Amino acid sequence: MRVFNLRRSFYGVRALSDARFDVEQGTITALIGPNGAGKTTAFNCISGVIPPESGSVHFAGTEITGLTPDQINACGVVRTFQIARGFPTLTVLETLLLHGDDQPGERMLTALFSPGQARQREAELLDRAHAVAKRLKLDHVVVNLTDALSGGQKKLLEIGRALMAQPRMILLDEPVAGVNPTLGGEIAERIQQLNEEDGLTFLIVEHDMDVVAQICDPVIVMAEGRTLMQGSFDDIASDARVQDAYLGKRG
Amino acid sequence: MLSWLFSVATFAGIYALLALGINVIWGMGGMINLGMAGFFALGAYASALATTSGGLPIPIGLALAAGLAALAGGLLCRLTLRLRGDYLAIVTLGFSELVRLVAANEIWLTNGSDGISGVPGPWRSELTPFRFNVLSFALVAAAVVVIWALTERLRRAPWGRALRAIRDDDTAAAVAGKPIRRFKIQAFALGAAILGLAGAFYGHYTSYIAPDIFRPLITIYIFLALTAGGTGNTTGAIVGAVAVVLVLEGSRFLEGWTSVLGGVQKAALREVFIGVALIAIMQLRPLGLLPEKSPGPFLKRKSR
């Protein structure tokens, strides 16, 4: 994925000014930076939730700038949200099924007059949903309402939702924030496993540096709406500019 | 007496249709529609005009009513796509008053506040009043069954699941790849079509419609019915509608007992009853008599 000169402001405040970075296929790339660096805005622009004012996003050679979220989904790029946004009145299984692609039963007339088609697809998606639930160790809570899940389970379900679309790349917005360290480590392990076994590319916004150091390479640092640098975790941890951005300049 | 019971049952059926329509828009889709009376009126006027001045047969009047209401509903939904909550409530309420005021003032078309009388009913002149009531009830009941089956299937289908997801959080649903605009417009238009159909039934049954019948109060009654029955539950919508009609009509029998009260006070007492009943239901069963239940995967059903 290539992000080039992305720019976006809110009410005159420039949240993103010329952010540019590349994400190589098959990596777990981290996007870090102090609060207000524009990480979430960058995510929103890439995933189509907010259109950028200028700049471009290419994925696997195709331009996806300014497409709607569902079109970007169809290209194989799926995102999760920082605060697990669930559908409180849907069960875990229904949430997973909802994220299955190409369900003809979502067309009103098909649902009414040829439910057979929808049922057939539903059976396929159901297998996929159960497999995803099993991989994420959510298989014992599939009939629960999403509202009844613990914080960590909601985070896992976020990843599960992304997986249901069988994406090539997943954007994770703070996958371990607000989760205890043990569970955070477990979530990180699941991400690593998915990366190794399925070859999924990840772009992760995360503040937990232990997790970033553990699973992410390379790491992209943003500050004040721009890309500051890109490198391995050790490189960026020892870089003076990064320290300045986080801790402020001395003198 | 028996004839009166069938008449009450027919009104209950019309209320049930209204509740089913609102259930699609508000219960399943989460879009508040305080303009219900407007779609009800639109359907009633469309069918009444088509069958009186237009001279068309009643089934075509019904189809026109549903079609016109669906068109208006789809259009209103498209215009208000970005509004939600209070703002959508105000706009839809405005729509309903707009329809009522047009009906009251465009005398060349609607005969103004005098209303349209002599709306034909099926075989009204050939049947005794009792038989006409029985036939009307049967037709309305059949419509309720068909609409129930239709909306219940949609609710269970992936279509209904996606609509519920949009109701819960439309940004997350959009990111999940759901075209929310299409879902919202479809749901609003379908619900509006059902409301329009109910209006047509009303006109053909009572033979007389006037702008005053379509005041916002009826919208409130239907929302009460749906809330009491269970928002989002198709069967609950019917149960709630029947319950509201029973309270409204049943309170007539209190007249013998309450000789102290005057006529106006008795009429007011009905609304008090409805209010108290709703408060009691909300205290005991906050999600309504029949709460919404997740239907689970859309497969051949094993057990209900």
Going by pLDDT thresholds of 50, 70 and 90, the confidence category of residue B257 is: low
Query: Using CA of residue B256, residue B259, residue B262, residue B266, what is the dihedral sign?
Result: negative
Q: Do A98 and B161 touch (CB under 8 A)?
A: yes
Query: For residue B116, what is the enclosing H or E element?
Result: strand B116-117
Residue A193 neighbours by CB distance under 10 Å: 12
- Give residue B304's pLDDT: 38
Q: Which residues of B touch A94 (CB under 8 A)?
A: 161, 294, 296-297
Q: Does A89 touch chain B if contact means CB atoms closer than 8 Å? A: yes
Average pLDDT over residues B132-146: 96
What span, in angstroms and rounded, lies between the C-alpha atoms of B98 and A212?
59
Q: Which residues of A touch B159 (CB under 8 A)?
A: 105-108, 111
Q: Are B22 and B221 in contact (CB under 8 A)?
A: no
What span, in angstroms and rounded, lies between the C-alpha atoms of A206 and A33?
9
Cβ under 8 Å to B: A residues 177-206: none
Nearest to B164 among A69, A89, A107 (CB): A89
Average pLDDT over residues B188-202: 97
Chain A CA closest to residue B152: A112
Q: Quote the CATH superfamily of domain A2-247.
A: P-loop containing nucleotide triphosphate hydrolases (3.40.50.300)
The nearest CA of chain A is from the CA of B282 a distance in Å of: 19
Closest Cα partner for A74 from A100, A104, A110, A42?
Answer: A100
Q: Is the pLDDT of residue B302 over 60?
A: no
- Give the CA count within 13 Å in the CB-facing half-sphere of B255: 9
Percent of chain B with pLDDT over 90: 61
Closest Cα partner for A91 from A41, A60, A126?
Answer: A126
Q: Do B168 and A101 touch (CB under 8 A)?
A: no
Nearest to A165 among B153, B168, B177 (CB): B177
pTM above 0.95, yes or no: no
Q: Which residues of A touch B168 (CB under 8 A)?
A: 86-90
What amino acid is encoded at B77 in this protein?
A: C
Strand pairing class (A169-173; A77-79): parallel
- Give the CA count within 13 Å in the CB-facing half-sphere of B109: 13
Q: Which residues of A touch B293 (CB under 8 A)?
A: none
Closest Cα partner for B288 from B245, B236, B244?
Answer: B236
pLDDT in tens, A43-76: 888 888 888 888 888 888 888 888 888 788 888 8
CA B142 to chain CA centroid, nearest Å: 16
Strand pairing class (A201-205; A28-32): parallel
Query: Using CA of residue A143, residue A145, residue A146, residue A152, what is the dihedral sign?
Result: negative
The nearest CA of chain B is from the CA of A56 a distance in Å of: 19
The nearest CA of chain A is from the CA of B97 a distance in Å of: 30
Residue ranges in chain A modelled with pLDDT below 70: 83-84, 249-251
Residue A220, phi then psi, degrees to nearest 5: -105, 130
Q: Which two tokens stand for residue A52?
A: 């950028």
Nearest to B172 among A73, A81, A97 (CB): A81
| Weakest mean pLDDT among A165-169, A240-244, B189-193, B276-280 | A240-244
Chain B CA closest to residue A98: B162
Interface test with B, best of A92, A99, A108 (most B CBs within 10 A): A108
Chain B CA closest to residue A77: B175
HEC string for chain A: CEEEEEEEEECCEEEEEEEEEECCCCCEEEEECCCCCCHHHHHHHHHCCCCCCEEEEEECCEECCCCCHHHHHHCCEEECCCCCCCCCCCEHHHHHHHCCCCCHHHCHHHHHHCHHHHHHHHHHHHHHHHHHHHHCCCHHHCCCEHHHCCHHHHHHHHHHHHHHCCCCEEEEECCCCCCCHHHHHHHHHHHHHHHHHHCCEEEEECCCHHHHHHHCECEEEEECCEEEEEECHHHHHCCHHHHHHHHCCCC
What span, in angstroms and rounded, lies between the C-alpha atoms of B37 and B95?
9
- Give residue B40's pLDDT: 96
What span, in angstroms and rounded, lies between the C-alpha atoms of B21 and B148?
10
Give chain B's length. 304
Q: Which two tokens stand for residue A65?
A: 């700038």
Q: Does B233 touch chain A if contact means CB atoms closer than 8 Å? A: no
Going by pLDDT thresholds of 50, 70 and 90, the confidence category of residue B185 is: very high
Q: With left for phi above 0 and alpha for psi between -120 and 50, is residue B6 left, alpha or beta?
A: alpha
Chain A CA closest to residue B168: A87
Q: What value of ipTM does the predicted structure carry?
A: 0.81
What span, in angstroms and rounded, lies between the C-alpha atoms of A172 and A208?
13
Q: Which residues of A touch B179 (CB under 8 A)?
A: 70
Nearest to B175 among A49, A101, A123 (CB): A49
Q: Are A79 and A45 in contact (CB under 8 A)?
A: no
Q: Does A239 touch chain B if contact means CB atoms closer than 8 Å? A: no
The nearest CA of chain A is from the CA of B28 a distance in Å of: 11
**Tokens 């749906």 belong to residue:** B226
Q: Are B181 and B65 in contact (CB under 8 A)?
A: no
Q: Do B154 and A108 touch (CB under 8 A)?
A: yes
Average pLDDT over residues B141-164: 95
Q: Do B297 and A122 touch (CB under 8 A)?
A: yes
**Cis, bond preceding A218 (omega within 30 deg of 0):** yes
Q: Do B299 and A89 touch (CB under 8 A)?
A: no
Nearest to B150 among A87, A112, A123 (CB): A112
Taking the CA atoms of chain A, what radius of gyration do you get in angstroms? 19
Q: Do A98 and B178 touch (CB under 8 A)?
A: yes
Parse chain A into domains and list their residue ranges: 2-247
Q: Are A84 and A176 in contact (CB under 8 A)?
A: no
Q: Does B178 touch chain A if contact means CB atoms closer than 8 Å? A: yes
Q: Any idea what DSSP says for residue B117? A: E
- Give residue B47's pLDDT: 95
Q: With left for phi above 0 and alpha for psi between -120 and 50, is residue A60 left, alpha or beta?
A: left
What residues form DSSP beta bridges with A229?
A: A221
Question: Which range has highest mean pLDDT (A150-159, B81-90, B122-131, B134-143)?
Answer: B134-143
What span, in angstroms and rounded, lies between the C-alpha atoms of B174 and B183?
11
Q: Any idea what DSSP says for residue B8? A: H
Average pLDDT over residues B65-90: 91
Q: Are A136 and A160 in contact (CB under 8 A)?
A: yes
What span, in angstroms and rounded, lies between the C-alpha atoms of A183 and B281?
42
Q: Is the pLDDT of residue B303 over 50?
A: no
Q: Do B176 and A73 touch (CB under 8 A)?
A: yes
